[in-house]
Amino acid sequence: MKRRTGESAQRGAALRGAETFPWKAAVGRLLAWYRSSARDLPWRRDRDPYRVWISEVMLQQTRVSTAGPYFERFLRRFPTLEHLAEAETDEVLKAWEGLGYYARARRLPEAARAIRAAGGFPRDAKALLSLPGFGPYTAGAVASIAFGLPEPVLDGNVRRVWCRLFALGEPDGGDLRRRLWDLSRLAVQSGPPGDVNQALMELGATVCGPRRPACPTCPLRRECAAAGEGRPESYPVPRARKAHPEWAVAVALLWRGDRFLVTKRPPGGLLGGLWELPGGKVEEGESPEGALAREIREEVGADCEILAGLPVVRHAYSHFKVVLHPFDCRLAPGSPPPAPAVPHRWILPEERGSLAFPAATNRIFERRFAAEDLRAAEEPASFGEGERE
């Protein structure tokens, strides 16, 4: 007889627990709880695939409270798939500014064009998965919520619920992920798939939170192995945290008259397609001022003169941190004329709102232009003859 490998034996063990799990009863209680307790969120008001798609991409990277206003603004700017398919990447990045993970935003108009070319959203998960930017989570969410197909989802909230419900204490990895997807697949067989998926995510977000889960109010309390053990917070096992490197970066507000220089990042990679201030990494043994002079020479082909140091801004990305040292600068006397090798613009301070910048750059702007912004806000509006306030 063929022997089972360690992996399949372990996986089988998890699924054995799942086989005796009272799916119908538990999912029934979960759905009853969801229908009475779910938060009223803007993307839950209908099942339009376009709205479901946009909301799910946003929710993969941010909290519901942050995503709400972004979602409303995005839908005002691009109310339909057609509007998004016609959009320039820059416009989409501007609407996405501050949400992070800009690669996802860049792929939205690309996917919208593919969906339009196909005559609408495909109604099966495999075809959805082939669209630009669609991973298993997005495909599962759109297929189940918009089209009622029995397709699973797995996000951080659902992962936490499954790990606790079945007391899955192994470290994160391929084995665990496969089991969790298997559990999600079983769940959507036991009720309306879109509601089941949303109820699981809602439970993880509001009741079964990372700290102090509200077990006494949980509709799955009866079946929950971790709560039965009296230590729900021990699951899931925390992911091993890697130390994130920290880099110092010097950047310039390089002024020419009343305008300063901004450059555009290449379309791929981190913050791709966003605008930024010229500058770069401070190398070992270099001062921020020295690094800035070198970077401006390399990047802009000019020599700069520092006028003033501006407040330092710290920012954490998913895998590293930066400490930004901004400076007000102008071209040094006798400098060659600036000739940036990358797309660039010389903008007035008030024009910065029309371009998409990384969050850290916007924080530099907020501090640098706080006084000007306040003055502009306080200036009395001028009224034409006959107009009234």
Q: Does 205 bind ligand SF4 (CB under 6 A)?
A: no
Angle at 166 between CA 162 and CA 171, to 5 degrees: 75
- Consecutive H or E run containing 236: none
Could you give the C-alpha distances from 179 to 13, 119, 163, 166, in angstroms and in order?
10, 35, 10, 11
Longest dimension (CA), the chain: 95
Q: Does 31 bind ligand SF4 (CB under 6 A)?
A: no
Using only the alpha carbons of the chain, give its radius of gyration: 26
According to CB under 6 A, which one of 31, 187, 199, 226 is a site residue for ligand SF4? 226
CB atoms within 10 A of CB 80: 13
| Catalytic residue list | 56
In the complex, minimum distance from the CB of residue 184 to ligand SF4, in angstroms, rounded to a whole number:
14
Considering beta carbons, is residue 42 or 169 the nearer one to ligand SF4? 169
Bridging pattern class, strands 259-264 and 313-316: unpaired
Q: Does 213 bind ligand SF4 (CB under 6 A)?
A: yes
Rounded Cα distance between 363 and 291, Å, is 21
| 60 touches 137 (CB < 8 A) | yes
In the complex, minimum distance from the CB of residue 296 to ligand SF4, in angstroms, rounded to a whole number:
54
In the complex, minimum distance from the CB of residue 215 to ligand SF4, in angstroms, rounded to a whole number:
3
- Consecutive H or E run containing 87: none
Which residue stretch of 20-28, 150-158, 213-221, 354-362 sits at the interface with ligand SF4 (rule: CB under 6 A)? 213-221
Site for ligand SF4 in 55-84 (CB under 6 A): none
Q: Does 236 bind ligand SF4 (CB under 6 A)?
A: no
Q: Does 165 bind ligand SF4 (CB under 6 A)?
A: yes
Q: Does 352 bind ligand SF4 (CB under 6 A)?
A: no
According to CB under 6 A, which one of 232, 236, 278, 358 is a site residue for ligand SF4? 232
Work out whether the CA dihedral 380, 382, 385, 388 comes out positive or negative: negative
Helices (H), 191-254: 193-206, 225-229
According to CB under 6 A, which one of 143, 227, 262, 329 is a site residue for ligand SF4? 227
According to CB under 6 A, which one of 224, 251, 302, 304 is a site residue for ligand SF4? 224
Which residue stretch of 222-230, 300-308, 316-324, 373-381 sits at the interface with ligand SF4 (rule: CB under 6 A)? 222-230
Nearest to 155 by CA among 173, 137, 178: 137
Query: What does the binding site for ligand SF4 look like in residue numbers (CB under 6 A)?
Result: 161, 164-165, 207-208, 213, 215, 218, 220-221, 224, 226-227, 232
